[in-house]
């Protein structure tokens, strides 16, 4: 475990994780950061539009906050 990560602000950890496009952001529907990036590139601007394109947040919905953060990060870059 990288203990230095414990002392970083959570948004820095998230930015580091977003760079891994294979990392799953939604376990239930097996949606990765890369899937979110592609959906944003294809015009998804809201959670609902992401859901239409990727089926993200259709299971337990515990990923919702992270999905929104990932989407916003890709929208801003």
Domains and CATH numbers, the chain: 9-75 (1.10.10.1100)
Phi and psi of 47, rounded to 5°?
Answer: -60, -40
Q: What is the pLDDT of residue 14?
A: 64
pLDDT in tens, 13-53: 467 788 899 999 999 999 999 999 999 999 999 999 999 99
Residue 21 falls in which region: left (phi positive, over 0), alpha (psi -120 to 50) or beta: alpha
Q: How confident is the model at residue 68 (pLDDT cuts 50, 70, 90)?
A: very high
pLDDT score of 1 more than 60? no
Q: Is the pTM of this model over 0.85?
A: no
């Amino acid at each position: 475990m990288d203990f230095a990560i414990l002392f970083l602000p959570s948004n820095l950890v998230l930015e580091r994780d977003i760079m891994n496009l294979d990392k799953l952001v939604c376990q239930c529907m097996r949606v990765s950061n890369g899937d979110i990036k592609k959906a944003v590139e294809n015009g998804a601007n809201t959670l609902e539009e992401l859901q239409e394109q990727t089926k993200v947040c259709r299971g337990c919905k515990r990923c919702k906050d992270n999905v929104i953060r990932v989407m916003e990060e890709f929208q801003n870059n």
